[in-house]
Amino acid sequence: MADEKQLIRYSGRGSFAPDVIARAAGSSVFTEDGRELLDFTSGQMSAILGHSHPEIVATVREQVGTLDHLHSGMLSRPVLDLAAELVATLPAPLEKAVFLTTGAEANEAALRMAKLVTGGHEVVSFARSWHGMTLAAANATYSAGRVGYGPAAPGNYALPVPDRFRPSIVDADGDLDWRRQLDLGFEMVDAQSVGALAACIVEPILSSGGVIDLPPGYLAALRDKCHERGMLLVVDEAQTGLCRTGDWYAFERDGVVPDILTLSKTLGAGLPLAAVVTSAEIEERAHERGFLFFTTHVNDPLPAAVGLTVLDVLRRDRLDLRAQELGTRLREGLAALPHDVVADVRGRGLMVGLELGGADADQLGAAVTARCAGLGLHVNIVQLPGMGGTFRIAPPLTATEEEIDRGVSIIDEALTSVRG
């Protein structure tokens, strides 16, 4: 059992998990007492190549013995190569990159750039969004962390979430009318704006908000709303980027190219690496106006070398196709579970939401999560009131068919056991 008395609790949900993790390999983590947990969250939704991938281990060992950290004004070959390799995976005009450490940092830099380039300060994001816990990122986050910290920065507005499972605005057939919802959302934004709109930042699939996949066509319509108002569209692909959804980037499905793209979690495959990517035009305008954003570890060579290895493995092993195949297997397995409380299975690729229904869904979700852990599976539920029966399932892209089937089987057994 973990003795946590010297640790600050930071998640807002009480204590840590009871077991101390000793090591991890592939799709599993192992506790100090020898128990194996199949990891269906890829660590913090990050380890897309699994844990301790041998090529990442080799890269870290070699790079840390050669060049690990530099002054922020210096450049290294891993950083230059990673920038070239990364933009080669992206559509034009995304061709300028900077490398940071976390998703919050990347979103902070992106919003700072958007404000400087547009001259505005107002930011729009989804209700139930999660973009990080630093200043601008936290102000654009509505799913948690807003109570008790004093006033938020002025000029932050929330858009309603286009959730087809619990639609707020419906058409004649009772289905989500996302176009009317989006129009209404921007009517409210326009009514509150002081004429200084700078950016809209969104996840293509809201993860902490319930694994809500934006409807086809929504992102294109949102881009048009932004550009009509002189705003930049910032797409946060912390969890969806780099093959997890079956495409290299989730925005590709709708043929939309964001003005600014942020990457994090998956880029380092579990190590701290993030990126902001934008066009040469936007970068030039930001530079002309004195864009200032750097951290102690901006463009560090060690994580950049890891990012290069991640891109190499994704490309060589066609893990975009692997995510499509395994994702179909996972969703079909979950949809076939013989439990009437399984209300919805949704998502793309290996980013899947399983929602339990019923009046006690929150309590059921917590109980099933605990039972899964006892049976050898780590899963995570959405921490929002009324959505605690929604599981965020994101196994590594390197998982095997047997591991996918084993995870589904454990969920089945946990549901059977808990409902007794």
| Enzyme catalytic residues | 130, 203, 236, 239, 265, 392
Of all helices (H) and strands (E), which one includes residue 159? strand 156-159
Peptide bond into 93 cis (omega under 30): yes
Give the span between the Cα atoms of 141 and 157, in whole angstroms.
Answer: 10
User: Tokens at residue 101, please?
Assistant: 């450490």
First to last CA, the chain: 28
Copy the structure tokens of residue 263: 């990457």
Is the four-CA dihedral 367, 146, 119, 195 of positive or negative sign?
A: positive
* 143 touches 207 (CB < 8 A): no
* DSSP 8-state secondary structure symbol assigned to residue 373: H
The CA distance from 141 to 146, in Å, is 8
- CA 40-46-51 angle, 5° bins: 70
Q: Which among 102, 143, 146, 140 has a CA at the least distance from the CA of 124?
A: 140
Cβ atoms of 157 and 193 closer than 8 Å: yes
State how far the Cα of 314 lies from the Cα of 322, in Å rounded to an integer: 10
